Structure 1
Amino acid sequence: MDHKTETTNLIGSDKVSGTEVYNGAGDHLGEISSVMIDKVSGKVAYAVMSFGGFLGIGEQYHPLPWSTLTYDTDKGGYVVNLSREQLEGAPHYEARDTPDWGDRAYERRLHDYYGVNPYWGI
């Protein structure tokens, strides 16, 4: 049975992973590695974007608050209003690390960096 994982307004998480991410100038920044969903509210909290590295070496993961992403149908990917330099200074973690998911102070720093309100509302 074929399960359609994308419609005009909905997309399955399996289709989000691997989607390219660009900045407003059209520069390729990385790709979505995974999405983080709040288990209680069901809201998508973050898109974790892989950035940098070569052949998996030195790759970093940047949790982007979902509200910072806009889907661009022409590009077939997401656009964030960030320069490469801003992204390089953004909160991130290495593949061998685990971020402090659930630590509101950590998550607040993420949202503060990107200048957006937390997904959980305050």
Structure 2
Amino acid sequence: MNPSYAYESGDVISSDRVEGTTVYNEAGEKLGSIDDLMIDKRSGQVRYAVLEFGGFLGIGTDRYPLPWSVLKYDTTKDGYVVPISKSQLEGAPKYTETDVPVYDPDYGRRVNSYYGVTWLP
């Protein structure tokens, strides 16, 4: 089997399939879609899903790193659901596509703290 066709198998999924997946809040409102995944180099675990939110038709959008642990996949929506309102997201740590921050421990603590997630380096 060609690995490029193995997008889903059992409990794993290719990052190609995660990127572009819609993200909703618990009220069912579409917040945006997954733009990127940030993976811990040492453990191999996904740390953050970067949500693309705002703008119009992909222009002027910002990127919001969401701790991976806050995303829950909903098969009925074929997307991820997060316990975050649009107003809460608007005040969250964000960056533009061309101004990606360094994901160092201080930045990770700031992002995780905003969402009430315990930082585990």
TM-score computed with the length of structure 1 as normaliser: 0.92
Q: Distance in 1 between matches of 2:8 and 2:106?
A: 34
Number of the residue aligned with 1:98: 100
Q: Distance in 1 between matches of 2:120 and 2:32?
A: 23
Q: Distance in 1 between matches of 2:51 and 2:11?
A: 21
Q: How many residues align?
A: 119
Contact kept? 1:45, 1:119, Cα under 8 Å: no
What SS class does the counterpart of residue 5 from structure 2 fall into? coil
Number of the residue aligned with 2:36: 34
Matches within 5 A, 1:44-59: 44-59=46-61
Opposite residue 60 of structure 1, the aligned amino acid is D
Deviation (angstroms), 1:71: 0.5
Opposite residue 40 of structure 1, the aligned amino acid is R
Number of the residue aligned with 2:109: 108
Q: Distance in 2 between matches of 1:29 and 1:119?
A: 26
Opposite residue 118 of structure 1, the aligned amino acid is W
Q: Aligned Cα RMSD in Å?
A: 1.2
Opposite residue 71 of structure 2, the aligned amino acid is L
Q: Distance in 1 between matches of 2:58 and 2:117?
A: 30
Number of the residue aligned with 2:73: 71
**Structure 2 stretches of 5 or more lacking a match?**
none
Q: Which runs of 4+ in 1 moved over 4 A?
A: none
Q: Distance in 2 between matches of 1:75 and 1:38?
A: 28
TM-score computed with the length of structure 2 as normaliser: 0.93
Deviation (angstroms), 1:118: 2.1
Q: Distance in 1 between matches of 2:30 and 2:99?
A: 24
Deviation (angstroms), 1:119: 4.3
**Percent identity of paired positions between Structure 1 and Structure 2:** 55
